Amino acid sequence: MKDPDRTPVGDAFAEFAISVLRLAGPLTQAGDALAKPSGQTSARWQVLAAANHAPMSVADAARALGLARQGVQRIADLLEAEGLIAYRDNPTHQRAKLMVLTAAGETALHDIKERQAAWADGLGGALGERRLRQASALIAEVIEVLKERPAPEPSED
């Protein structure tokens, strides 16, 4: 079957999207490797970092991370059971508790960040600050455009 025809700009976007999707795997593997000495995974690291940014509900963290609330809830409950986060009352919502890091969570996150800093410095040096900042800006712009213009939902026939 012949591929559908796209404009050159459509081809460029498709190539960009495939590249970003291909990047996700190696980045997740690297995150897992950086987090493993602290007994964590990249997914747990994301939730720890979200809770460290500011006390926030699981739903707020999920929105900020672009993840499903249920997945973040599962990870947050595991982190709480391990004493890395605690749930606190939320003054703006009776049922949605706020996640906050415990001292053990702060230590784990700090250790991961130290390992990540050395790794990021090496990669950043190889790729160049200007190019990385341009790529980050483009990705942020694409995220905003995708929020405004999501892919159409399949129609039910």
Within a domain: 36: yes
Q: For the chain, give me the number of helices (H) and strands (E)?
A: 6, 3
* 8 Å CB contact between 97 and 59: no
Angle between helices 8-35 and 42-53 (to 10 degrees): 90
Specify the number of domains making up the chain.
1
pTM: 0.84
Residue 76 lies in a domain: yes
Does the pLDDT at position 106 exceed 80? yes
Residue 19 lies in a domain: no
Residue 37 lies in a domain: yes
CB 48 within 8 A of CB 79: yes
- The CA distance from 102 to 86, in Å, is 6
Say how far apart CA 74 and CA 46 lie, in whole Å: 13
- Residue in 96, 26, 29 with CA at minimum distance from that of residue 57: 96
Q: Is 153 within the bounds of a domain?
A: no
**The domain spanning residue 108 has which CATH number?**
1.10.10.10
Q: How many CB atoms lie within 10 A of CB 37?
A: 11
Domain-located, residue 148 = no
Assess if residue 147 is contained within a domain.
no
Q: What is the pLDDT of residue 157?
A: 62
In this predicted structure, the answer to whether residue 75 has a pLDDT above a threshold of 70 is: yes
**3 DSSP β-pair partners:** none
Q: Which domain holds residue 44?
A: 31-142
108: in domain: yes
Query: Residues 126-155: pLDDT tens digits?
Result: 999 999 999 999 999 999 999 999 988 887
